[in-house]
Amino acid sequence: MKNFSFYNPVKIIFGKDTIKDIAAEIPAKSKVLVVYGGGSIKKNGVYDQVTKALSSFEWHEFSGIEPNPHYETCMKAVALIKDKKIDFILAVGGGSVVDATKFIVAAACFEDGDPWKILSEGRAIKKALPYGTVLTLSATGSEMNDGAVITRAETQDKLAFSNPLVYPKFSVLDPEVTFSLPPKQIANGIVDSFVHVIEQYLVYSEEDTLMQDLWAESLLKLLTIEGPKALRNPDDYNVRANLMWASSWALNGWVGRGVDQDWATHMIGHEITAFYGLDHAVTLSIVLPGLMTVLKDQKAKKIVRLGKKVFGIEGASDNEIIDRTVKAVEGFFEGLGVKTRLSDYGLGGDAIEVIRKRLNERGWKLGECHNITGDVAAEILDLRR
Ligand code: NZQ
Ligand code: ZN
């Protein structure tokens, strides 16, 4: 196990009817800005619960954060914060709203020119406004981590940053608010959580990280058991509760401490979204089976372990187990209704070349062994036509 430090200061408030508890978490006399997306919270009663809980505060609102949130939109929120002298933000929505809020709270305090540099140049953040979240879609883990992914529409860049200053002060996780998710978003959330664990587990490693491996396998197993149930019985509270808590743990730092990490599936996926607008989880479901195939020698030990421990594949040679495990992962995604081929989304060779060029231009060498260049990404995508 590698040396590591672990720090996660996010207070989680979990369960039914917990949105009202935000009032006790926000410092008295704060001027609050409620940040949300395209309006789902007005249809499912979350907006009403939030505004009721905020009745003793002066509060304002900023809506219109889009999926794969745009830098351009975030900067409008920053202007409003400065204008109204806001001192606490409440993010109400899915990963996009939470990610946007992370960038907004950093950008509002950034004094080193254009805040885009936080993403494009990795410029340091020295300060950020405090914020909390009311999560409405379990998928990204953003409610319990310090990372965010922001898109600049103008240049089709989708870039990530992370900084301990942008951990939420608290996150409210009421599984009941996820009942209103359409099946597509339920499935996306399950795929995203699954791939978050995979990025921190399915690696070449000489390290002995049994504790992290067993945690990771529990999360992956849970997602394969509860995921299909959530689609079959969308009103099952316990299933939603398991998925919501698992998705936070999939990316709150815990399973990845002291282990090598991959993240190439995400980085290639971000480019597909940046150029072609596919949902984040959809891009992951396309890339991962291809990546597992191209890197099967490097990752052999862990792919075999994944096959045996999570998908119950036994009694064959390692090579057969690897092939069957790749198929099992693809079948799991397809079984959730998420199509896993580029052609399912009208994409082919042209898109592969665009992504090859972008990654080669960036000079990125992705993955735990730093060997996935634009050319290797193109090889991966070629298998996913
Ligand atoms: O905008 P509204 O109207 O709220 O509708 C949203 C949106 O259209 C809707 N929705 C959310 N909660 C709902 C609901 N509809 C009905 N009922 C509810 N309870 O769902 C749609 C998708 O929402 P979005 O927030 O975009 O989805 P998700 O949570 O999957 O977030 C995706 C974003 O997170 C980033 C992705 O790249 C992407 O931009 N990620 C962030 C990470 C992080 N910060 O750690 C890690 C992830 O790997 C991921 O990259
Ligand atoms: Zn993700």
Contacting residues for 85 by C-beta, under 8 A, at least 6 apart: 31
pLDDT score at 223: 98
Instruction: State which ligand 1 atom lies nearest to the alpha carbon of 179.
Output: 19
* Other Cβ atoms closer than 10 A to 119: 22
CB atoms within 10 A of CB 315: 7
Q: Is the CB of 269 under 6 A from ligand 1?
A: no
CA of 252 to the centre of ligand 2 (A): 12
Q: What is the distance in A from the centroid of ligand 1 to the CA of 224? A: 21
Phi, psi values for residue 70, rounded to 5°: -95, 140
Q: List, as one string, the DSSP characters of 183-216.
A: HHHHHHHHHHHHHHHHHTTSS---S--HHHHHHH
Question: Does the beta carbon of 68 lie inside 6 Å of ligand 1?
Answer: yes
Nearest-CA residue for atom 46 of ligand 1: 140
The pLDDT score that the predictor gives to residue 352 is 98
Round to whole Å and give the CA distance between 255 and 23: 32
Instruction: Give Rg (Cα) of the chain.
Output: 20
What is the CA(18)–ligand 2 centre distance, in A? Answer: 26
Which of 280, 285, 336 maximizes ligand 1 atoms within 8 Å of its Cβ, making it the mutation to test the pocket? Answer: 280
Domain residue limits, the chain: 11-177, 183-382
Pairing of strands 31-36, 157-162: unpaired
* Type of residue numbered 16: K
For 371, residues 6+ apart whose C-beta sits below 8 A from its C-beta are 298, 365
Per-position pLDDT tens, the chain of length 385: 999 999 999 999 999 999 999 999 999 999 999 999 999 999 999 999 999 999 999 999 999 999 999 999 999 999 999 999 999 999 999 999 999 999 999 999 999 999 999 999 999 999 999 999 999 999 999 999 999 999 999 999 999 999 999 999 999 999 999 999 999 999 999 999 999 999 999 999 888 999 999 999 999 999 999 999 999 999 999 999 999 999 999 999 999 999 999 999 999 999 999 999 999 999 999 999 999 999 999 999 999 999 999 999 998 899 999 999 999 999 999 999 999 999 999 999 999 999 999 999 999 999 999 999 999 999 999 999 9
Nearest CA to ligand 1 atom 18: 181
- Render pLDDT for 93-115 as a digit per residue (tens, 0 to 9): 999 999 999 999 999 999 999 99
Q: What integer pLDDT is reported at residue 315 of this predicted model?
A: 82
In single-letter form, the type of residue at position 136 comes to: T
Closest C-alpha to 162, from 274, 41, 256: 256
Among 99, 261, 268, say which to mutate for ligand 1: greatest number of ligand atoms within 8 Å of CB: 99
Q: Can you identify the CATH homologous superfamily of domain 183-382? A: Dehydroquinate synthase-like - alpha domain (1.20.1090.10)
For 220-247, the pLDDT digits (tens) are 999 999 999 999 999 999 999 999 999 9
CATH for 11-177 (3.60.40.10, 3.40.50.1820, 3.40.50.1970, 3.30.1360.70): 3.40.50.1970
Where b means 16+ CB within 10 Å and e means fewer, 186-216 reads bbbbbbbbbbbbbbbbbbbbeeebeebbebb
Is the minimum distance from the CB of 181 to ligand 1 under 6 angstroms? Answer: yes
pLDDT digits (tens, 9 = 90+) for 256-265: 999 999 999 9
Indicate the average pLDDT of the chain. 97
Q: Which helix (H) or strand (E) holds 27?
A: none
Ligand 1 and 9: CB distance under 6 A? no
| Measured distance CA(287)–CA(253) in Å, rounded | 23
CB of 227 sitting under 6 A from ligand 1:
no
